[in-house]
Structure 1
C-alpha cells in the first residue's frame, strides 16, 4: 500500500506546488494534413491523448527554448536527415495497410538542416505527430503508462463469485502445497527415526545372537569351564522338554508346555529352515505325522459315511460338495493343506476345491467300503445318464463309483422306497390315475426255442395328486365323495338338456372373439419386430373373464410298468385293479378317498365306459369301477385338432397354383413332403404339422396387417404406431380375414375368389388351433373349453373326426350334470404344472408320454437283461434317477450335455411365406384369378358341423330310449345304410404319438438338452 499523505498545517493552506510537480504538457501542434487524414480514416477520437491535461495553478517552471508551441511546419519542404529506425507503435484501429503507408511516409530525407543530438526539438519532426511513440526524443527512459487505480471498482470486482472462486482456489492450492510440504517433512523425519530404530534393533539382535551362541557353548561345555555339562544339544532339548516327567520343577514344565502351545509350530519351522532337506523328509515320514494323517483320514471316513437305514432320497437331497468342502477344511486341515499346495496355483479353468473334494471322497472308500455315500450318488448318476455296466465298473475301480451290482441293489432299494411313498401319498391326498400303452421290441441275437425276437405291449401309469382350487391346497380324502357321481342304471347314460351344447352361447361367442383378437395381436407382436415397442403395453392375458388355473406344483409319482395290454376290456379292468392293489387300496379306503379321475386317450375312456356299463350292477366299489370318472387327454385332442386343420387345408399336391399348406410346405419352405389330407390312410405327424401351422399363421397375419394398414409403407408405420392404432388395425384384420362372416361375404360376390375364400377359412381354423395351444400353456382352462365347444361342432363335419366330437360332447354333458365342486376339480386338474411357475402347464396325457419316453429310450435294459421285471422296477425310479442327474450336475456346476435349448429362429421362414402371399395376392380379392379354376374350394367345417344337429339320428345314443323291445326272430340285414346314419370315419382316427427330444423342449422340468447324449448311449448299447 502507498504511504498515506502527510497532513498539512493551516499555514500551508495557500501552498502551491511548483510547476515542475506536474509533467510538462505535451505540445499540441496543429494537425497536419497527413494526421488529419490518419485520424479521420481511423476514428482516432477515442485516443487517450484527446483529453486535455489540466495544468497546475502554481508558478510556471523554467521554460526552455523548445517548450513553446510550434507553428505549423510544411512537411513537404523539409529535408530530413537519415535517422535510425525507431520502433513503430501503431494506434488502435489502424489496419496493416494504413500503418505501412504511414511508416513509408515517415522516412526522413538526407541532408536535413534540423539539429541533431539528444535535445533536438521534437516538435519540428513530423514523427511526434504522426507516430505518438512512447520514446522521448529528448532522451531518457520510455514513458510508462501507470495503471489507473479504481478502489471502488476493485471492491466490486472482489465481490463477484468469479473472484471468490479464484480466491478459494488459490487458498486451496496454497493449503495443499503446505500440506505436501509438511507431509514430506514428516515422512523424512519418520524415515530417519525408522532407520535409527532399525539400526538399534539390528544391534540388539546381533547382541542377542552372540549371547545365545555363548549359551549354546556353555550347554555343552564342562562344568570346570563354567558350563552346564550336557553331552550334546539333543540331550539338552530332550531334558528341557521332559517328555517323561523326570524333573522336579513342575513350574518349569508348565512354562515349557505353555511355550509349546503357542510357539511349537514356529519353533519347528525355524528348525527345518536351518536343517538340511533330508531331515525334513525323515520328519514327515515319522510316527507323529503318520498319526496326524491317520486321524484326519478317520475324520474323512466319518464324513462320507451314513447311518444305517438312511434313505437314498435323503442321500440325494443332502449331496452338497460345497458343504463337504467346508467339513473337510475343518476336520482334515493338514490333508487339505497338503493337497492344496501340491495342486499349485489356480491356473486351470477347473475349480480346485471340487477336484480336491473328489480326491478326499476317493480316499474315503479306500479306508472302508461302507464309506461310499459319494460313490453311491455317482453310481446313480451314471445309471441315470445311460452308462452301461462296463463303464460303471471302470469308474468303480477308479474309486469314483460303486460297482454295478451295488448300483442295482441301491436301485431296488429306491424302488421299494418309492412304492412306500406311493401308498402313503394316496392315503393322505386325493389322487388321479393316468396310463397309456407302451410297446417294446425285444431283440435276441442268438435265438432259441425259449428266446426269440418278440414284440410286447404293456402299460405305464402315473399317480397324480389333485389340486383343490377352492381351498387352494392339495385335495384330501373326502373332497369328492362317491355320492357326487350319480349311479349308472343303463348301458348308455343319457345326457339331459343336450340342446344347450349344440351351439356356443352368446356370452361364449363374445368371449371367444375377444380371445381370438388377443391371440392375433400376440402373434404379430411376437414375430414382427417393428411392433416390439408396443409389447410392454400389451396385456399378458386377454380381457375375457375366463377360468384360470392357479399356478401350483403338481405332485406326481410313476407307478410300476406292467406287461398288460390295455387295448382290451379285460386288460383295462386288470390294469385298474392291479394299480389299486399296488397302492394298497381296498373298498373301504376307496370309499374314504372318493372319486378317482382316470386320464387317457379315447381308447382308454371308451374301455372304461364299457367296463362301467358291464359292471353297473356290482355292489363292490373297486370291482364295479364306481369311483372312476374318465377324462380324455387334451394332448391327444390337440393332435386331432392339428390334424383336422392340416388335412382340410393341405391342398392338391403338385398343383401349379399357389395357396394351401402343401404349396407353403413344399414349394416355399422346401421341406419334406408330409402325409396329409383326408384321403391319406396314415395320420399326419403332429410335430411337423404343428410347426407348419405356427410359421404359416404368423406369415398370414403379417401379410394381413400389411394389406389393411392405411399407410403404404407398413414397416415405417409399424415403428411409430400407437396402441390405439394397433388395436384398431387388429380388429379390422380380424373382421376381414379371420371370421366365417368374412368368408360368407366373399362367397356371395358375383365372382367368387376361391383362393381368397380358402385362405380365410384356413386363417379361422389355424387361429382356433393356436389359441388352444397357448391356452394350455397358460393354464387357462376357460379358453380351452371355449375352443372345445367350437371343435365339437367342426369335428361333426362329414368324414372328419366324429369320435372326438362325441368325446367332447359327452364330457361337456356329464360336467353340466355334476355338482359345482366336481366341475371345479375336474377342470383345474385337467392340466399339470411340475414347476409351479406361470405358463408352465401341460396336459396330463403328455406327462405320461414323456414318462414312456424316458422308460423306453433311456432306462430300458438292453440285450439279455431286458425284461418286464426290470421295467417294473426301474419305472418307479425315473424321477429319482433324474434327481441324481440334477444333483451331481448342480454340485459340479456343469451345464447339460449341450447348449440351453431355444426354439430355432423362424423369422426367415415367416418372411418367405409373407412375401409369397404378397406377390401372389393370396389374401386380396382378385375376381379373375387364373387359379380359381384349378383350386378346389375347402369346406367351412363350422357350417358343415352345424348341419349334424338337424339329422334325425343326431345324438341318439345320448337320448333316453322309449323303444319297447320284442323278439321278432331273425331279421335280414339291411341292403343299404340310411342316409341319415352318421358314418364315422374311424380309420386312423386314434392319434398315435412317439415323443422325441424336440417334444420335450416344451417342458422346463424335462432335461431335454441331454437327449442327444443319452439316446446315443442307448443306441450304442443296443448295437453291442
Structure 2
C-alpha cells in the first residue's frame, strides 16, 4: 500500500496476488472485488500478464531445444462443450484435442543435461519392413535366471516391509529394515518440464498423430535441419500412441524427410498405463464369482468385508475394471494377507507377543517361510501335489493371489524408488502372464517388442532410453513417477482448474494457459509460503488403512483361507473355480513359435506379400477376439494429485477462502 501511494506503477504485489488468484481457480467476480480493494490487479490486467507469460514461455521453449536434447510426451484431452441456449451454429459438442510436454533429456553417464547430437539419428535402426522384425531368441520370451533371482529378493523385501508397517509391535525394526536391493536405479535428479500449447487435434488416428507430431515440432520451432542437429527424440504415450507411431514409421519408412518420416522418434509406451494394465490383470483374474457363498476372492474382500461400493471386474465384465479402487484394494488385501501369514508362521500363538521381542533375523526367517509357503509358485506346487481328494481350491487360489498382487506392489514401489531395473523385471513377468488366453495379448506384444528392441540398441541409446523412462519433479528420493502420468496430471490442471467457463471456453484459451501452468503454480506456492498458508496437500495423504487391514486379517484367520484344509466342504468344490496360474499358462504359450510368430522375418515377408494362411494362426486370432484390451481414457481425479507428495493440491474453495481473508 505504501508503494502504491508513491507510484501507481509499483504494483508488483498486486500482480503476484492476481497471478495467485488465477492459479487458484478464482473466477472473474472475486478478482474484480479484490482489484477494487487495491489487493490485486484487475481481471483485464491479469489477462494481459497471462499473454505476456505465454509468449515468454514459448520463447523459452524454443530456446530450450536449441541448447540441449529433449524428449516429448503427448496425450489426448477430451472436453465437453455445453451450450445452454443452443443455436444452429452453437450446439453441445465434444472436442478431442491433445496436450504435450517437452522434457530435457537426462544424461545418465554425466548426471547432467544432454548436449545436442549426443544421440545422432543414425543410432536408430533403419525401418526396412512394413512390420517390426525382431531378431529374437528364446531368452527374450521369459525372464532370465538372474532377473528371476533379483525379483525374488525384491519381493522378499516387500514382504518384510509390509509386515513391519502393518504389525504395530514390529515398529521397533523400521530402521533395521534397510533399503530394497537395487537393480538399476536412476540417479536422483530434478526433472524439468515445459508444456507445449494445447492443440485442437485428435491423435486417435494416423493422420491425427501426424498432425499432432508436426504441430508440436512447429511449436518448438524445429525444422528437419534442427532435428538432424538435435538427434533422436523419445516420445512417450499410451499403447494407442505407441501403435499409431509404429504404423506411421512403417507407412513412411521410405520417406527422406526427418519430420515427415518420423526419423527422429524412438517409441516408448507409458509405464503408468502398464501399471493400470497389471493391476487389472490381477483383479480380473482373482475377482471370483460375485455373490458366491465361498470366501477367499477379491469380490469377497471388496464387497462383503470392506463393504465398498460395488465395482465391475472380471474378464467377462462389460466395462473396464476401474483402476483407482482396484489399486487401493490390492494394497489393503496384500497387507492383510502378509499379516495373517506372519501369524501362521511366526511359531507362536500370539503374534504381538512374538513381534514385541523379534529381531530382524527373526523377521527375515519368518518372511522366508511365508514367501515359500504362501507367496510363491513353489508353495502352490506343493499343495497341488496332494491327492485330488485332499486338494483345497480356496487355499490354492489365495497363494496365486498373493504372488500376483506382490508382483504388482513391487512394480508400484520400484517406480516410486526410480529403479528402472526392478521395473523391467516385473515387466518381464507380466509379459509372460499376459500371454495367457483371454487376458491382455496387446500389452504382452508391446512389452515383448519394446524390451527386445532396446536389448538390440546401441548400449548408449539403451541406457538413455531406460534412465529417462521415469521423471522426478522434486529431485528428492522416492519421488519418481511415470512420464505419461505427468502428462495426465497436466491434463487435470488444464481441463479442471484452468479451463475457462461458459462461452469463454475455447482452444485458443487452452493453448495460452497450458504453457503457463507451472509458472502459475509457482506463483501460488510463493504466496502460500510467504503468508505461511498450510500446505494443503499434506492433509490429503492416503487415509489410514489399519482397520481395513485388520478386518481382512481377522476374516482370513476365521475362515482359515491361508491354511490347507482337507475336504474344506462341498461349498468349496461347487462354487469355487480354480484360478489359473497365469505365469504357467503364459509360459506354455510363450514356448510356442506362434506366440511371437508375427515378429519373425519369414512371417513379415509373407504378410507383405499377402500369402499368410489364416488357418496357421487360429489361436492368435481367438486371443485377439477375447483380449478385452480396448484402450480407454483415464480421467485423472483430485485423488491422484493427493497421492503425489511433490504436487500438493488445494481445494479451490479453500484457496478462495484464504484469498478472501487476505
Fold-level similarity (TM above 0.5):
yes
Rounded Cα–Cα distance in structure 1 between residues aligned with 2:267 and 2:429: 22
Task: Indicate if the aligned counterparts of 1:948 and 1:954 stay in contact, CA closer than 8 A.
Answer: yes
Counterpart position of 1:836: 475
Counterpart position of 1:585: 222
Counterpart position of 1:892: 531
Q: Give the 3 Å change call, closer, same or farther, for CA 880–966 of structure 1 in structure 2.
A: closer
Counterpart position of 2:374: 737
**Residue deviations 1:682-738, cap 9 Å, x none?**
111111100000000000000011111111222101110111111111101100111
- TM-score when normalising by structure 1: 0.62
Give me the CA root mean square deviation: 2.2
Counterpart position of 1:861: 500
Equivalent of 1:419 in 58, 64, 76: 58
Counterpart position of 2:335: 698
The alpha-carbon deviation at position 453 of structure 1 amounts to: 1.1
Rounded Cα–Cα distance in structure 1 between residues aligned with 2:44 and 2:428: 55
Rounded Cα–Cα distance in structure 1 between residues aligned with 2:39 and 2:499: 24
The alpha-carbon deviation at position 1010 of structure 1 amounts to: 3.2
Counterpart position of 2:314: 677
Counterpart position of 1:360: 2
Q: Tell me, which stretches of 5 or more residues in structure 1 are unaligned?
A: 1-358, 1018-1024
Rounded Cα–Cα distance in structure 2 between residues aligned with 1:950 and 1:981: 18
Please give the residue correspondences for 1:761-772 in structure 2 after superposition, counting only pairs within 5 Å.
761-772=400-411
Counterpart position of 2:134: 495
Task: Indicate if the aligned counterparts of 1:381 and 1:885 stay in contact, CA closer than 8 A.
Answer: yes
The alpha-carbon deviation at position 608 of structure 1 amounts to: 0.3
The alpha-carbon deviation at position 781 of structure 1 amounts to: 0.6
Rounded Cα–Cα distance in structure 1 between residues aligned with 2:159 and 2:630: 30
Counterpart position of 1:375: 14
Rounded Cα–Cα distance in structure 1 between residues aligned with 2:318 and 2:631: 12
Q: Give the 3 Å change call, closer, same or farther, for CA 653–1015 of structure 1 in structure 2.
A: farther
2:50 counterpart of 1:408:
no
Number of corresponding residues: 653
The alpha-carbon deviation at position 659 of structure 1 amounts to: 0.9
Counterpart position of 1:623: 260
Task: Indicate if the aligned counterparts of 1:639 and 1:991 stay in contact, CA closer than 8 A.
Answer: no
Q: Give the 3 Å change call, closer, same or farther, for CA 1015–850 of structure 1 in structure 2.
A: farther
Q: Give the 3 Å change call, closer, same or farther, for CA 1004–499 of structure 1 in structure 2.
A: same
The alpha-carbon deviation at position 558 of structure 1 amounts to: 0.8
Equivalent of 1:558 in 195, 198, 203: 195
SS in 2 for 1:461: strand
Rounded Cα–Cα distance in structure 2 between residues aligned with 1:659 and 1:833: 38
Moved more, 548-557 or 493-502: 493-502
Q: Give the 3 Å change call, closer, same or farther, for CA 569–767 of structure 1 in structure 2.
A: same
Task: Indicate if the aligned counterparts of 1:698 and 1:910 stay in contact, CA closer than 8 A.
Answer: yes
Task: Indicate if the aligned counterparts of 1:442 and 1:454 stay in contact, CA closer than 8 A.
Answer: yes
**Residue deviations 1:222-246, cap 9 Å, x none?**
xxxxxxxxxxxxxxxxxxxxxxxxx
Task: Indicate if the aligned counterparts of 2:239 and 2:631 stay in contact, CA closer than 8 A.
Answer: yes
Counterpart position of 1:942: 583
Moved more, 485-494 or 565-574: 485-494
Counterpart position of 1:1000: 641
Counterpart position of 1:920: 559
SS in 2 for 1:807: helix
Counterpart position of 1:904: 543
Task: Indicate if the aligned counterparts of 2:17 and 2:40 stay in contact, CA closer than 8 A.
Answer: yes
Higher relative contact order (CA 8 A, sep 6+): 2
2:159 counterpart of 1:523:
no
Counterpart position of 1:633: 270
Q: Give the 3 Å change call, closer, same or farther, for CA 511–896 of structure 1 in structure 2.
A: closer
Counterpart position of 1:958: 599
Q: Give the 3 Å change call, closer, same or farther, for CA 765–898 of structure 1 in structure 2.
A: closer
Counterpart position of 1:667: 304
Rounded Cα–Cα distance in structure 1 between residues aligned with 2:19 and 2:505: 19
Task: Indicate if the aligned counterparts of 1:953 and 1:982 stay in contact, CA closer than 8 A.
Answer: no
Task: Indicate if the aligned counterparts of 1:801 and 1:989 stay in contact, CA closer than 8 A.
Answer: no
Counterpart position of 1:983: 623
**Residue deviations 1:572-611, cap 9 Å, x none?**
0111111111111111111111110000000000000000
Counterpart position of 1:725: 362
Counterpart position of 1:125: none
Counterpart position of 1:55: none
Structure 1 stretches of 4+ with a deviation exceeding 6 A read 962-969, 971-977, 1014-1017
2:78 counterpart of 1:439:
yes
Counterpart position of 1:748: 385
Q: Give the 3 Å change call, closer, same or farther, for CA 604–688 of structure 1 in structure 2.
A: same
Please give the residue correspondences for 1:249-288 in structure 2 after superposition, counting only pairs within 5 Å.
none
Rounded Cα–Cα distance in structure 1 between residues aligned with 2:125 and 2:615: 41
Rounded Cα–Cα distance in structure 2 between residues aligned with 1:527 and 1:772: 20
Q: Give the 3 Å change call, closer, same or farther, for CA 947–965 of structure 1 in structure 2.
A: closer
Rounded Cα–Cα distance in structure 2 between residues aligned with 1:566 and 1:972: 31
Rounded Cα–Cα distance in structure 2 between residues aligned with 1:648 and 1:987: 13
Task: Indicate if the aligned counterparts of 2:415 and 2:482 stay in contact, CA closer than 8 A.
Answer: yes
Moved more, 584-593 or 642-651: 584-593
Equivalent of 2:213 in 576, 600, 610: 576
Counterpart position of 1:601: 238
**Residue deviations 1:233-282, cap 9 Å, x none?**
xxxxxxxxxxxxxxxxxxxxxxxxxxxxxxxxxxxxxxxxxxxxxxxxxx
SS in 2 for 1:861: coil
Task: Indicate if the aligned counterparts of 2:131 and 2:604 stay in contact, CA closer than 8 A.
Answer: no
SS in 1 for 2:103: strand
Task: Indicate if the aligned counterparts of 2:96 and 2:201 stay in contact, CA closer than 8 A.
Answer: yes
- Which is higher, the Rg of structure 1 or of structure 2? 1
Q: Give the 3 Å change call, closer, same or farther, for CA 1009–627 of structure 1 in structure 2.
A: same
Task: Indicate if the aligned counterparts of 1:755 and 1:932 stay in contact, CA closer than 8 A.
Answer: yes
SS in 2 for 1:900: helix
SS in 2 for 1:837: coil
Equivalent of 1:711 in 320, 344, 348: 348
Rounded Cα–Cα distance in structure 1 between residues aligned with 2:299 and 2:401: 13
**Residue deviations 1:613-659, cap 9 Å, x none?**
11110111111101100100000000000001000001111111111
2:417 counterpart of 1:775:
no
The alpha-carbon deviation at position 506 of structure 1 amounts to: 1.3
Rounded Cα–Cα distance in structure 2 between residues aligned with 1:397 and 1:520: 60
**Residue deviations 1:162-201, cap 9 Å, x none?**
xxxxxxxxxxxxxxxxxxxxxxxxxxxxxxxxxxxxxxxx
Q: Give the 3 Å change call, closer, same or farther, for CA 918–965 of structure 1 in structure 2.
A: closer
Q: Give the 3 Å change call, closer, same or farther, for CA 762–445 of structure 1 in structure 2.
A: same
Rounded Cα–Cα distance in structure 2 between residues aligned with 1:743 and 1:360: 76
Rounded Cα–Cα distance in structure 1 between residues aligned with 2:657 and 2:15: 24
The alpha-carbon deviation at position 538 of structure 1 amounts to: 1.2
Q: Give the 3 Å change call, closer, same or farther, for CA 706–964 of structure 1 in structure 2.
A: closer
The alpha-carbon deviation at position 898 of structure 1 amounts to: 7.5
Task: Indicate if the aligned counterparts of 1:898 and 1:1010 stay in contact, CA closer than 8 A.
Answer: no
The alpha-carbon deviation at position 520 of structure 1 amounts to: 0.7
Please give the residue correspondences for 1:115-194 in structure 2 after superposition, counting only pairs within 5 Å.
none
Q: Give the 3 Å change call, closer, same or farther, for CA 703–416 of structure 1 in structure 2.
A: same
2:448 counterpart of 1:809:
yes
Rounded Cα–Cα distance in structure 2 between residues aligned with 1:814 and 1:966: 21
Q: Give the 3 Å change call, closer, same or farther, for CA 880–475 of structure 1 in structure 2.
A: same
2:173 counterpart of 1:534:
yes
Rounded Cα–Cα distance in structure 1 between residues aligned with 2:185 and 2:617: 46
Rounded Cα–Cα distance in structure 1 between residues aligned with 2:20 and 2:490: 18
Task: Indicate if the aligned counterparts of 1:646 and 1:677 stay in contact, CA closer than 8 A.
Answer: yes
Counterpart position of 2:292: 655
Q: Give the 3 Å change call, closer, same or farther, for CA 868–820 of structure 1 in structure 2.
A: same
